[in-house]
Amino acid sequence: MKYLIYITLLSALFSCESYIDLKPLAENSVDNFYNTASDLEQAVIATYDGLQTSVRPGYLDHFAEVRSDNTYNFATTPAGGAYADFDNFNLTSANDRLNVFWHNSYLTIQRANIVLNRIDAITMDETIKESRKGEVKFIRALTYFYLVQIWGDVPLVVEETTDPISFIGQTRTPAAEVYNQIITDLTEAAGELPATVNTANDGRVTQGAALGLLARVYLVRKDYQKVIEYTNQVINSGLYSLDADYAGIYDYAKKSNEVIFKVFFKSGTNSEGFPYLNVNHDYNNTAARDFMETFKNDPRLDAIVDTSNIGTYYGNKVHNENVSTDNTIDIKTVILRYADILLMKAEALNELQYPSQEALDLLNQVHTRAKPNLAFNLADFTSKNQFLEAILKERRIEFAFENLRWFDLVRTGKALEVMSAKNTGGGRPNAASALPYTISESDLLFPIPQVQIDASSGNLKQNPGY
């Protein structure tokens, strides 16, 4: 993991504020820097570093977990309620957490663009060069995938930014075009990336990650034949399998054949670990009452959720108490794993033809790992929608704390229905939030940060309802 963890150099090269927080580079420093394979390697590592920031606890999880019925914000007042507003559907465009994620996402995109703009001019091993292209294309695609799911139309920038003035008038690109670019990046990356990497490069993107993310993108786009095409490529590669030990998937020290792509935080290495939070005071992403009640008889709940001394429930996928001398901990943030490949294919098959024995078998592969004696039968379902509900319930517990739940609800058109039924707040068994809330159609997207609208001289237009 040395390549992904020790990331300290490149951020110093980014200077000057510009619209959408794409940091242009001073020409005299950049042109003199990107000359060797070693220089390029550091630029690639900096791109991973940007992704590391986006997916760390306290960032993406507020958009993807706290917003959903999985987790909630226990303490409603810290940071002026900025975190709690995600939980209680009370966001405004002034919330600084929105801009932090936007800013970092476009910084990551800028870093990827720098690599792609300059890599062809550098003399280096051609096989490695192709792989590095694929890695940063994957990261750029993944970053845009988060952005377009969160905000819908977003500015699409695929060239290195050197002149901040040129972006003052930038407007939002239609989501369909953004998705086309994501698909282009991932398709090209799948042809450039290696199928596997050695232990020293563990954590780098591989071909399976690009193929699996393509399936996830096509599932959002409701192109179910493409979902089957790309999930089949991952399945038929023979490189991945379900781990018998569900809890072990997230153990930092264990190698998992199920994990297709993950981001590491390594403690004790120049603060590249995740800052330790006393779990008694981890208010921001706590398992909701409804989640605990729904899965209280599922063995996965005990494997992934622990109880703090003050009666809250924290996810040990993202926490542990092995604190290093620099007050950081090791965590492994899982982005994509084989169970998701199986359930995505099952969902696509169900959408194309119900009933489907193959879809049932795929669902049961995941379900019976947790509950070996409780396989589903086709007779358990009377409609395509009922089968989809079973898949969504499976996904909810299987991928809890992995930043998929809110996007699953929106993708399947279930967000308003599910969240409206769980708006009681407080400690009630079916509560998904700390406080009562009201959800409407406009809440399916998030507000564009006001500072970005102001920086664009109003060219960026706000989402409806904000």
Note the pLDDT of residue 280.
52
Note the pLDDT of residue 463.
98
Rounded Cα distance between 135 and 240, Å, is: 20
Determine the length of the chain: 466
DSSP 5-24: H---SGGGGB-S--GGG--P
Sequence-separated contacts (24+) of 309-312 with Cβ below 8 Å: 309/280, 310/280, 312/74, 312/280, 312/282, 312/283, 312/286, 312/287
Global confidence as pTM: 0.92
Rounded Cα distance between 75 and 198, Å, is: 43
Note the pLDDT of residue 5.
32
Average pLDDT, the chain: 89
Number of domains in the chain: 1
Rounded Cα distance between 101 and 24, Å, is: 18
Is 149 a domain residue?
yes
Query: In this model, does residue 211 exceed pLDDT 90?
Result: yes
Sequence-separated contacts (24+) of 251-259 with Cβ below 8 Å: 251/332, 252/320, 252/330, 252/331, 252/332, 253/330, 255/202, 256/337, 257/338, 258/337, 258/338, 258/339, 259/332, 259/334, 259/336, 259/337, 259/338
The model's confidence at residue 325, banded by pLDDT at 50, 70 and 90, is confident
Lowest mean pLDDT among 17-21, 166-170, 451-455: 17-21
Is 427 a domain residue?
no
Give percent above pLDDT 90 in the chain. Answer: 73
Q: What is the mean pLDDT of residues 273-283?
A: 63
Is 313 a domain residue?
yes
Is 454 a domain residue?
no
Alpha helices in 338-399 (DSSP H): 338-352, 357-370, 384-398
Coil, helix or strand at residue 427 = coil
Joined tokens for residue 395: 């996904």
Is 437 a domain residue?
no
Coil, helix or strand at residue 29 = helix
Phi/psi region, residue 353 (left: phi>0; alpha: psi -120 to 50; beta: rest), is: beta
Lowest mean pLDDT among 64-73, 107-116, 189-198, 248-257: 248-257
Note the pLDDT of residue 309.
78
Interval 127-180: pLDDT, tens: 999 999 999 999 999 999 999 999 999 999 999 987 655 565 689 999 999 999
* Residue closest to 204 by CA, chosen among 215, 212, 213, 195: 195
Give percent above pLDDT 70 in the chain. Answer: 89
Q: What is the mean pLDDT of residues 408-435?
A: 93
Is 385 a domain residue?
yes
Is 331 a domain residue?
yes
Phi/psi region, residue 426 (left: phi>0; alpha: psi -120 to 50; beta: rest), is: left
CATH number at residue 213: 1.25.40.390
Query: In this model, does residue 1 exceed pLDDT 50?
Result: no
Note the pLDDT of residue 167.
61
Coil, helix or strand at residue 264 = strand
Domain range spanning residue 68? 2-419
Query: In this model, does residue 34 exceed pLDDT 90?
Result: no
Rounded Cα distance between 49 and 3, Å, is: 10
Is 51 a domain residue?
yes
Query: In this model, does residue 229 exceed pLDDT 50?
Result: yes
